[in-house]
Amino acid sequence: MERKEFLKTALLVNAAIIAKPLLAMAKGFVIADFPLSNNNVTYYKKSDAPYDLLRKGFNKRIEKFPQIIALCSTKEGVAQAVKYAVANKLPIAIKSGGHCMEGFSSNNGGMVINLSLLNKLEWVEDFVVKVGPGCTLANLYNNILPKQKILPGGSCAGVGISGLVTGGGYGLMSRLFGLTCDSLQEVTMIDGKGNSVNSKDNPELLWACKGGGSGNFGIVTELKFKLHTAPKTMQSVRFKTKNATAQKAKQIFKTWFEESKLLPNHCFSACLLNGKTVYILLTNTSKTTAAVQRFINTLSAASQTTSKTAAQPLATALKTYYGRQAPMNFKNASAGLYKSFNEIEPFIEEVLQKVINTPGMIYQVNTVGGAVQNAEFEKTSCFAHRSYFYFSELQAYWETPTQGNKLMARFEEVQQLFSKNNITAQYRNYPDVNFKNSLQLYYGTNLERLKAVKKTYDPNNVLQHEQSI
């Protein structure tokens, strides 16, 4: 959302929160078949001014129109909204940061529970914080980085902490500290009947919310995280090769796969093809060890240009990756997790050729591994893909509907190449509505156990979206 537009919404929302319940109480006014707002929750219907801005997510491609938007200011408000939805047989979608790539945080004709006002961060101990579900990554980092603390989250400033963590959460610090969900200690949630539950009473709920909770079991209203000592600085090295053929791009990707596997855990790297240009990014939050230098030397030799930034304070360096704030038209989905280049070698040239032929499309592979593979994390979370070293994504961006239609068709063609070639592990936070057996791809062997958690907390399937459990 542009800043001006955002401020307008905030003003409208705040004015409505104050004015509407007072007006309703004073007049004893109840809209037929419409819930009455109060200090805990404000309900909006299509004709209300803030409805349109509240219903929109970060992805402009997706347009949905819920019957009711429940803007909650307290946990009690969330419980009230759930009870109303249950009584009126309305399916519920949950919206925190609104960055779901396939629009699972909204629905048509149901209720959307909007948690953007529940965004506070509270310090519990020196290394422990409690965070509201609507807290964005920028808000989180702005609070914890001045105290030299970090949570291994994603890069984009506007992503909501609860969507990120309940799907796993990976980023520049994951190889050092694990996924975002690996730092989660406790969740409070309103379940599918409107009851408040806490994971202290049921460790299975915590296990399930660490990678399998996105809009499935209940509405997370508070998250408790353990923080880590933040590295002081971060340095970036960028490599670029223009006018690459598919064959040349394949060669560079292969070299990158071989070398990036040897990087220490304080490094992250990504290799991507955008048009005919291959870009490689390396970030480093510690010393340039022999392995890091070897990576730089080898990838410099394989690329046309290399540029290095001086080590910057971490807070400054992270801001470089905050990304665009205003909503845009795009499709971005997981294109598989891999252990090595071998899994994609037989068909990747075809993928790269299609990307070269399709302006607006990007294929990107990111390093995972490192602390993500920690055995204790594996035991305590349902994230199913820890044995992989690489996570890939396919992206497409456009301005006009004609460009969009063309890109979406191409996108499907490329995704089919991955599925035809048995790429079967996919990351839940980068969903694709076209995935067949999506739950199996996201949750692997943990799916049956997750279904049991769903039965406990949302037996009537009140919380639902296109790919919910």
Ligand X SMILES: Cc1cc2nc3c(=O)[nH]c(=O)nc-3n(C[C@H](O)[C@H](O)[C@H](O)COP(=O)(O)OP(=O)(O)OC[C@H]3O[C@@H](n4cnc5c(N)ncnc54)[C@H](O)[C@@H]3O)c2cc1C
Positions touching ligand X (CB under 6 A) are 57-58, 94-101, 104-105, 115, 133, 154-156, 159-160, 162-164, 166-167, 169-171, 213-215, 219-220, 323, 429, 465
- Least distance in angstroms from the C-beta of 126 to ligand X: 26
Q: Of 35 and 134, which has the nearer Cβ to ligand X?
A: 134
- Least distance in angstroms from the C-beta of 85 to ligand X: 14
For residues 372 and 174, is the Cβ–Cβ distance under 8 A? yes
- Least distance in angstroms from the C-beta of 171 to ligand X: 5
- Least distance in angstroms from the C-beta of 269 to ligand X: 14
- Distance, in Å, from the CA atom of 416 to the CA atom of 335, rounded to the nearest integer, reads 10
Q: Of 241 and 269, which has the nearer Cβ to ligand X?
A: 269
Q: Of 181 and 344, which has the nearer Cβ to ligand X?
A: 181
Strand ranges for 160-295 from DSSP E: 184-191, 196-198, 218-226, 228-229, 233-241, 267-274, 277-284
Q: Of 20 and 442, which has the nearer Cβ to ligand X?
A: 442
Q: Of 94 and 273, which has the nearer Cβ to ligand X?
A: 94
- Distance, in Å, from the CA atom of 99 to the CA atom of 332, rounded to the nearest integer, reads 11
- Least distance in angstroms from the C-beta of 209 to ligand X: 8
Q: Tokens 């290799």 belong to which residue?
A: 271
Q: DSSP letter string over 95-149?
A: ESS---TT-TT--SSSEEEE-TT---EEEEETTEEEE-TT-BHHHHHHHHGGGTE
- Least distance in angstroms from the C-beta of 62 to ligand X: 10
Q: Of 110 and 171, which has the nearer Cβ to ligand X?
A: 171
For residues 284 and 235, is the Cβ–Cβ distance under 8 A? yes
Q: Of 66 and 98, which has the nearer Cβ to ligand X?
A: 98
168: left (phi over 0), alpha (psi -120 to 50) or beta: left
Q: Of 97 and 231, which has the nearer Cβ to ligand X?
A: 97
Measured at the CA of 431, the angle between CA 403 and CA 443, to 5 degrees, comes to 160
For residues 101 and 59, is the Cβ–Cβ distance under 8 A? yes
> How far are the Cα atoms of 263, 352, 357, 408, 410 from residue 347, in angstroms, in the given order?
26, 9, 16, 20, 16
- Least distance in angstroms from the C-beta of 25 to ligand X: 29
Q: Of 20 and 363, which has the nearer Cβ to ligand X?
A: 363
Question: How many Å is the Cα radius of gyration of the chain?
Answer: 22
- Least distance in angstroms from the C-beta of 190 to ligand X: 9
- Least distance in angstroms from the C-beta of 359 to ligand X: 20
The total of other beta-carbon atoms located within 10 Å of residue 461's CB is 14
Q: Tokens 């943990």 belong to which residue?
A: 446
**Residue type for 281, please?**
L
- Least distance in angstroms from the C-beta of 159 to ligand X: 5
**Phi/psi at 337 (5° precision):** -105, 140
Measured at the CA of 207, the angle between CA 452 and CA 218, to 5 degrees, comes to 60
Q: Tokens 């209720």 belong to which residue?
A: 111
Q: Of 20 and 385, which has the nearer Cβ to ligand X?
A: 385
Q: Which residue is nearest to ligand X (CB)?
A: 163
